[in-house]
């Protein structure tokens, strides 16, 4: 208790990181490419006897945690009349890396075209 009293934020942050990491690992293994109810994932996660308890983290509710995952871009989340649903965003896969590479390449092409137009407009001079 004395250690917790000296630096409570460090301990809560540590448990929060452990919880998030383990929860996302479960999502990655069990529901990598599917949209699933947050409560389903959570119930599967807590079925493990050795899980990190959410009450030792910075999140008071599953909804807060799910919204956090959405804000940080780790999962796609959405609320429906049936509750919160989530989908794991696989940032490690080759498909994701290829998609990001293509997105950067398209952005570069657009930038180049924009610069070329600006140069042409400057060369033409002011039009009256």
Q: Which pLDDT tens digit goes with each residue over 95-106? A: 666 777 778 888
pLDDT at 107: 83
Q: Which residues of 73-106 are buried (b: 16+ CB within 10 A; e: fewer)?
A: ebbebeeeeeebbbbbbeeeeeeeeeeeeeeeee
Average confidence (pLDDT) over 78-98: 83
Q: Which pLDDT tens digit goes with each residue over 3-50? A: 445 666 777 888 889 889 999 999 998 888 889 999 999 999 888 888
Residues forming a β-bridge with 36? 86
pLDDT score of 69 more than 70: yes
pLDDT score of 2 more than 60: no
Q: How far apart are CA 11 and CA 62, in angstroms?
A: 20
pLDDT at 66: 93
pLDDT band at 125 (very low <50, low <70, confident <90, very high): confident
pLDDT at 101: 77
pLDDT at 70: 93
Nearest Cα neighbor of 21 from 67, 79, 78, 69 is 69
pLDDT at 112: 87
pLDDT score of 51 more than 70: yes
pLDDT at 94: 62
């Amino acid at each position: 208790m004395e250690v917790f009293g000296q630096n409570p934020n460090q301990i809560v942050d540590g448990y929060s990181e452990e919880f998030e990491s383990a929860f996302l690992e479960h999502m990655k293994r069990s529901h990598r490419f599917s949209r699933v109810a947050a409560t389903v994932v959570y119930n599967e996660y807590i079925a493990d006897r050795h899980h990190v308890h959410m009450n030792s983290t910075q999140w008071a509710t599953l909804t807060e945690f799910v919204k956090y995952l959405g804000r940080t871009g780790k999962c796609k989340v959405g609320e429906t009349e049936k509750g919160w649903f989530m989908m794991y965003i696989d940032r490690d896969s080759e498909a994701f890396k290829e998609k990001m590479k293509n997105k950067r390449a398209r952005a570069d092409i657009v930038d180049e075209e924009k610069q070329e137009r600006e140069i042409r407009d400057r060369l033409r001079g002011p039009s009256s």
